[in-house]
Amino acid sequence: MEEEMTTGLFRVHGMTCGGCAKHVEKALRTVPGVAGVVVDVAKGTVSVEGTASFESMAASVGTAGYELTATV
C-alpha cells in the first residue's frame, strides 16, 4: 500500500537569507519521500509535500545547520 502524500508547514530557525533558504531546500530534497519544497524566508517557514517523516526531515535540516520545528 502506498503512503498518502501530505503537506506540512514547518518553522525553520536560523534561516535569515536566500542562501540559507537554498541550503534548507537542498537538505530537504535529499530526504526520501519529499516530493516538493517551498521556502518562505520572510516568514521563516517551509512547506513540504510528500511522505517523509518529520524526524528524517528535521535531521537533514539539522545537518545543514538549521532547526526544523512544527508551526503553531
At 16-67, the pLDDT tens digits run 999 999 999 999 999 999 999 999 999 999 999 999 999 999 999 999 999 9
Asked if pLDDT for residue 1 goes beyond 70, the answer is: no
Helices marked H in the chain — which ranges?
18-29, 54-63
Check residue 5 and give its pLDDT.
Answer: 81
Contact 23, 64 (CB under 8 A): yes
Is the full-model pTM beyond 0.75? yes
Q: What is the dihedral of CA 65, 50, 52, 12, to 10 degrees?
A: 20
The full set of domain ranges for the chain reads 6-70
Domain 6-70 class, CATH top level:
alpha beta
Q: What are residue 69's DSSP bridge partners?
A: 11
Position 2 confidence tier, pLDDT thresholds 50, 70, 90: low
Residue 7's SS3 state is strand
Alpha-carbon gap, residue 1 to 17, rounded angstroms: 40
